[in-house]
């Protein structure tokens, strides 16, 4: 529905693989002194003195992870980078480089790939990250993007998933569930559009939700803020699959249980009103929605004073002994088993 | 043609994404002390003290880069790793880690993915490389593999493409053209099979060629050998697209020309006999065939004595001033323009 039928179209085969790579990457700046050599050799060269190197990678596939009928290509490029930077921040690190591999079928003209790279460049410029390599090839069908992010952290600063301690507080940045509801709105509009292409949707009530879905921001500020507050999390993870699924990773790897309090879950007013409109439970959405790219972490209870008043953070529960299980304490003060109903890519 | 219709099939959706990742990666060993944390957190953690980190990535797509009707999955996994390690060795580095992302459609059972990972594991065990992360997802069609390799080298040991000097000798490891002819043989057999499935092919005359295509080996030994010989190349690149295309990268980046001598090109006897059988010019195949994963490098002429007698290396030409262009000197002593006719993924 967002496609402009009159756009100019340049065939990719005109440029060839190396021409395309040059064309797409020539305006990218390098921001980090650790980048010794970027695009243009067999491998990129990174120099970290006295720090650990962090590496993470994600693969986004058309028809599985995104739908180009409502995901503009520029947003897709931006989001593909965010998803990966988020993983570096979740290690309490600084993201410094990315590689981007794309496969595209011939149905895409050069201008489409340029749009995609405009989003990647915006992400690089905003987050001060260097594009240092990748691979560009054709696909038999559709588009896919594989991004690898490289970051660094001092050895003593790296935060793993397995360091939570019993009684640690569970903290989450930002708010939850918006990205999932944004997707529901976009899916609904797509169906309306298929029935009546002349319909002009009024999306004013959903702007925050749609932005959370189409243009998520990785929480680069959280590791910075924690450093300022002199708080080192004991465990940290980013929320890609949903809060339940992520807290379960921390519990499992730290060999502990947890209690999450329903009334502490941070929800945007649009999440509450739109959940009602869709007749869905906002708690369920906050727990299982996914794609929020907020950070979930645990801190010793002694750090509560540093965290409590901060508008970026919500304390939503605490860790427990493993034999107490993973529990949600409802508003009615009932304990329920937490279930991971995050997105499972192999469900039929 | 290699599919066993009676194999046991386990659906991927049974395991779920995390179950699948655990199942596939649990038997991988870690070989390198630089690997601080592998699979299982938001990002992997690598520790390089006093060395540069090398990063390279490649994307292989079914129907574009491989054909599962003659590429066994185990070989595919092995080759996907080789393609990337080769890039690290081409920087004169040591490969130490890989990440592997795969997307697979539901038509593949678990057993197929296990085969793929058996090949990846064989590559890791043979080359002493650690699997440290990746992403596993479903695709709407076919299979794809995205591998990123991470390596290291001392700053002073890294060899780029841009360091060649005028009069430097051009050297290639191994022999050329085998992988391309192997592919021709496999394509021919596929067509024969489609016409007559009962036909038992006799491939005895082509074993080397088929192995070059299906099970290439990255030249880990070349940087080691060069260190022993106390030779540091001035420029180096791996041969993935074909000799012509690769030497042109060195020329362009080093701002020089070159002369390659037809009679110096290293050809295996099977390459010569099979070229004749296919009525193709073996020189053309050596120059443009691609996928040989040999290393092409330049050394100062003063190092000739260290290189000349070595069975791993062939001196095939020398660098020239840029204004002399990039030339092939034929057996008849005629000079021809070198053309890069390597594989171009965007050709229609």
Fold for B168-337, please state it.
Phosphoribosyl-aminoimidazole Synthetase; Chain A, domain 2 (3.90.650)
Report pLDDT for B342: 46
Give chain B positions within 8 Å (CB) of A48: 48, 53
Of B342 and B66, which is predicted with more confidence?
B66
B43, B97, B237: residue with CB nearest A88: B43
Q: Classify B327 as helix, strand or coil.
A: strand
Report pLDDT for A321: 97
For an interface test with B, the pick among A19, A35, A41 (most B C-beta atoms closer than 10 Å) comes out as A41
Residues A55 and B42: their CA atoms lie apart, in Å, by 9
pLDDT tens for each residue of B106-117: 888 899 999 999
A99 assigned binding-site residue: no
Report pLDDT for A345: 42
pLDDT at B195 over 90: no
B20, B90, B103: residue with CB nearest A59: B103
Report pLDDT for A243: 96
Considering only B57-61, B74-78, B105-109, B146-150, which range has the smallest mean pLDDT? Answer: B105-109
B101, B133, B136: residue with CB nearest A55: B133
pLDDT at B187 over 80: yes
The strands making up B169-173's β-sheet, listed across from edge to edge, are B235-238, B295-299, B169-173, B313-320, B257-261, B326-329, B335-337
pLDDT tens for each residue of B225-245: 999 999 999 999 999 999 999
Instruction: Summarize the confidence of residues A256-275 as an average pLDDT.
Output: 97
Instruction: Summarize the confidence of residues A37-43 as an average pLDDT.
Output: 90
List CB contacts of A76: < 8 A, sequence separation 6 or more: A60, A66, A68, A116, A119, A145
Residues B60 and B284: their CA atoms lie apart, in Å, by 25
A337 assigned binding-site residue: no
pLDDT tens for each residue of B273-318: 999 999 999 999 999 999 999 999 999 999 999 999 899 999 999 9
A345 in contact with B, Cβ within 8 Å: yes
Q: Name the packing angle between helices B178-195 and B269-277 (round to 10°).
A: 40
B17, B52, B58: residue with CB nearest A46: B52
Residues A44 and A100: their CA atoms lie apart, in Å, by 12
Q: Classify A230 as helix, strand or coil.
A: coil
Considering only A49-63, A166-180, A314-328, which range has the smallest mean pLDDT? Answer: A49-63
pLDDT bracket for residue B343 (50, 70, 90)? very low
Q: Measured in Å, how far apart are chain B's first and last C-alpha atoms?
A: 27
pLDDT at A341 over 70: no
CB pairs under 8 A between A and B: 220
Give chain A positions within 8 Å (CB) of B344: 13, 16-17
DSSP A274-303: HHHHTT--HHHHHHH------EEEEE-GGG
Instruction: Summarize the confidence of residues A48-60 as an average pLDDT.
Output: 92
A234 in contact with B, Cβ within 8 Å: no
Report pLDDT for B56: 96
Of A122 and A23, which is predicted with more confidence?
A122
| Rounded CA Rg of chain B | 21
pLDDT tens for each residue of B128-186: 999 999 999 988 888 999 999 999 999 999 999 999 999 999 999 999 999 999 999 99
Average pLDDT of every residue of chain A: 91
Instruction: Summarize the confidence of residues A58-72 as an average pLDDT.
Output: 93
Of B24 and B270, which is predicted with more confidence?
B270
Average pLDDT of every residue of chain B: 92
Domain ranges of chain B: 33-153, 168-337
A25 assigned binding-site residue: no
B135 in contact with A, Cβ within 8 Å: yes
A168 assigned binding-site residue: no
pLDDT bracket for residue A2 (50, 70, 90)? very low
Give the H or E element holding residue B57: strand B52-61
Report pLDDT for B261: 98
Instruction: Summarize the confidence of residues A171-187 as an average pLDDT.
Output: 96
Is the CB of B16 less than 8 angstroms away from the CB of A238?
Answer: no
Of A292 and B203, which is predicted with more confidence?
A292
Give chain A positions within 8 Å (CB) of B45: 52-55, 91, 158
Residues A342 and A328: their CA atoms lie apart, in Å, by 16
pLDDT tens for each residue of B259-276: 999 999 999 999 999 999
pLDDT tens for each residue of A277-301: 999 999 999 999 999 999 999 999 9
Is the CB of A15 less than 8 angstroms away from the CB of B46?
Answer: no
Instruction: Summarize the confidence of residues B101-125 as an average pLDDT.
Output: 93
Of A281 and A15, which is predicted with more confidence?
A281
Q: How many CB atoms lie within 10 A of CB B250?
A: 26
A142 in contact with B, Cβ within 8 Å: yes
Of B6 and A68, which is predicted with more confidence?
A68
Q: What percent of chain A has pLDDT over 70?
A: 95
Is the CB of B141 less than 8 angstroms away from the CB of A141?
Answer: yes
Q: What percent of chain B has pLDDT over 70?
A: 95
DSSP bridge pairs for B5? none
Q: Which two tokens stand for residue B159?
A: 């060899």
pLDDT at A231 over 90: yes
Report pLDDT for A1: 43
Residues B1 and B69: their CA atoms lie apart, in Å, by 6
pLDDT at A217 over 70: yes
Fold for A33-153, please state it.
60s Ribosomal Protein L30; Chain: A; (3.30.1330)
List CB contacts of B301: < 8 A, sequence separation 6 or more: B167, B168, B169, B318
Is residue A206 within 8 Å of A274, Cβ to Cβ? yes
Report pLDDT for A7: 54
DSSP state of B66: B
Give chain A positions within 8 Å (CB) of B57: 99, 101, 133-135, 146, 148
List CB contacts of B269: < 8 A, sequence separation 6 or more: none
- Of A190, A12, A267, A308, nearest to B344 (Cα)? A12
Report pLDDT for A266: 98
- Give me the residues of B, 281-340, that contact A with CB < 8 A: none
Residues A130 and B71: their CA atoms lie apart, in Å, by 36
CA distances from B207 to A218, B126, B188, B269, B319 (A): 51, 21, 15, 12, 35
- Give me the residues of A, 44-103, that contact B with CB < 8 A: 44-50, 52-59, 61-65, 86-88, 90-91, 93, 97, 99, 101-103
């Amino acid at each position: 529905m967002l496609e402009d039928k009159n756009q100019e179209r340049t065939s990719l085969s005109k440029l060839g693989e190396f021409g395309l790579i040059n064309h797409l990457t020539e305006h990218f700046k390098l921001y980090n002194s650790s980048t010794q050599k970027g695009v243009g050799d067999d491998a990129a060269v990174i120099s970290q003195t006295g720090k650990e190197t962090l590496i993470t990678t994600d693969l986004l596939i058309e028809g599985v992870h995104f739908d180009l009928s409502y995901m503009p290509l520029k947003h897709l490029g931006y989001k593909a980078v965010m998803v990966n930077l988020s993983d570096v921040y979740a290690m309490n690190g600084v993201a410094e480089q990315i590689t981007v591999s794309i496969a595209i079928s011939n149905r895409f003209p050069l201008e489409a790939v340029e749009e995609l790279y405009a989003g990647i460049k915006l992400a690089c410029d905003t987050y001060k990250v260097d594009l240092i390599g990748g691979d560009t090839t054709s696909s038999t069908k559709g588009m896919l993007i594989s991004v690898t992010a490289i970051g660094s952290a001092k050895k003593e600063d790296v935060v793993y998933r397995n360091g939570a301690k019993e009684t640690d507080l569970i903290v989450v940045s930002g708010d939850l569930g918006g990205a999932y509801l944004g997707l529901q709105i976009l899916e609904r509009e797509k169906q309306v559009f298929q029935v009546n292409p002349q319909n002009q949707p009024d999306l004013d009530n959903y702007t925050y939700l749609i932005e959370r879905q189409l243009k998520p921001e990785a929480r680069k500020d959280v590791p910075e803020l924690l450093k300022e507050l002199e708080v080192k999390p004991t465990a940290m993870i980013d929320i890609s699959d949903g809060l339940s699924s992520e807290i379960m990773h921390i519990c499992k790897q730290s060999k502990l249980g947890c209690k999450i309090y329903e009334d502490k879950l941070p929800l945007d007013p649009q999440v509450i009103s739109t959940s009602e409109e869709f007749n869905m439970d906002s708690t369920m959405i906050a727990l299982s929605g996914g794609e929020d790219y907020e950070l979930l972490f645990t801190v010793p209870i002694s750090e509560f004073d540093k965290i409590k008043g901060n508008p970026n953070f919500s304390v939503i529960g605490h860790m427990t002994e493993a034999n107490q299980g993973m529990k949600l304490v409802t508003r009615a003060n009932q304990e329920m088993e937490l279930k991971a109903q995050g997105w499972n890519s192999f469900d039929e």
